[in-house]
């Protein structure tokens, strides 16, 4: 799955010369939380998002972010962002973009790492779409687990394989029993969080009805931190 497969193709953009108020209304009307800012030639010059509008004179929050350590330049910049009425004064300059071929997983990781909500999709220097977190969410909501009739023995093999591949646990340290789809995990792992991860790994195997987690944690001290789950 790539950017072109999930992107929204109708992209609402705004001019740097428009008013902040108009931009806010445009976001509200279209149920979006940010806008690419394009100049008269359609070239992307920045992004205006809800985050750019949180420290504003209208809210009485323009000066709240001011620290005692702020330099005169930072104070003046915050003033411009808090009081400017033109998009140009308030937007975040520049923008990360992706090509139409960018894999969805990479886009999601980019959003996570850079804490951004949307990425314009560019082809030949022009915006052809935008991928938002909402587009990513749709993939998760649509992800249908592949269900197939699996006997207890097949489930056991699948759970053991997953514990080995995903968590590096093999049948020397963990015993897996399966009775009519109910999986029981026994043995010892080195931490509470690994115990939890083993349950998650077993639950993700197709055909598993429920998981009884009887794994023990090797060191009691580590067991205390993340609360073990049934």
Tokens of 108: 């999601």
Phi, psi of 105 (to 5 degrees): -60, -40
Tokens 């509008």 sit at which residue?
53
CA proximity to 1, closest of 95, 168, 138: 138
Residue 150 contacts a copy of itself per CB under 8 A: no
| 2 secondary structure, DSSP code | B
Residue 75, beta-bridge partner list: none
| 230 secondary structure, DSSP code | -
For a copy of itself, which residue of 5, 30, 70, 80 counts as binding (CB under 8 A)?
80
Q: Residues touching a copy of itself: how many (CB under 8 A)?
A: 67
**How many of the other CB atoms lie within 10 Å of CB of 180?**
8
Rounded least distance, CB 127 to a copy of itself, Å: 22
Residue 166 contacts a copy of itself per CB under 8 A: yes
Nearer CB in complex with a copy of itself: 152/203: 203
Binding segment for a copy of itself among 25-33, 40-48, 120-128, 175-183 (CB under 8 A)? 25-33
Nearer CB in complex with a copy of itself: 64/126: 64
3-state secondary structure of 23: helix
Kindly report the CA angle at 18 between 13 and 24, in degrees rounded to 5? Answer: 70
Binding segment for a copy of itself among 64-72, 122-130, 180-188, 210-218 (CB under 8 A)? 64-72
Residue pair 179/185 in contact by the 8 Å Cβ criterion: no
Residues that bind a copy of itself (CB under 8 A): 20-21, 24-25, 27-28, 31, 33, 50-51, 53-61, 64-65, 72-73, 76-77, 79-80, 83-86, 88-89, 103-106, 108-109, 111-113, 115, 117, 133-134, 136-141, 143, 166-167, 190-191, 193-194, 196-197, 200-201, 203-204, 226, 229
């Amino acid at each position: 799955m790539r950017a072109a497969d999930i992107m929204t193709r109708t992209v609402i953009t705004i001019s740097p010369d428009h008013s902040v108020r108009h931009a806010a209304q445009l976001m509200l009307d279209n149920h979006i939380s940010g806008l690419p800012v394009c100049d008269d030639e359609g070239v992307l010059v920045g992004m205006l998002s809800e985050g750019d509008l949180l420290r504003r004179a209208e809210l009485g929050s323009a000066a709240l972010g001011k620290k005692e350590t702020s330099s005169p330049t930072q104070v003046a910049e915050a003033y411009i962002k808090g009081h400017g009425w033109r998009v140009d004064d308030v937007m975040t300059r520049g923008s990360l973009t992706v090509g139409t071929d960018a894999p969805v997983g990479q886009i999601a990781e980019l959003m996570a790492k850079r804490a951004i909500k949307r990425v314009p999709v560019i082809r030949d220097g022009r915006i052809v779409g935008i991928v938002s977190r909402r587009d990513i969410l749709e993939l998760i909501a649509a992800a249908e687990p592949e269900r197939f009739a699996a006997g207890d023995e097949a489930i056991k093999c699948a759970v053991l394989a997953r514990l080995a591949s995903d968590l590096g646990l093999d049948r020397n340290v963990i015993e897996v029993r399966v009775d009519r789809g109910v999986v029981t995990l026994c043995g010892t792992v080195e931490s509470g969080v690994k115990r939890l991860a083993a349950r998650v790994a077993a639950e993700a195997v197709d055909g598993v009805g429920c998981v009884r987690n009887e794994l023990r944690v090797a060191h009691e001290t580590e067991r205390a931190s993340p609360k073990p789950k049934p």
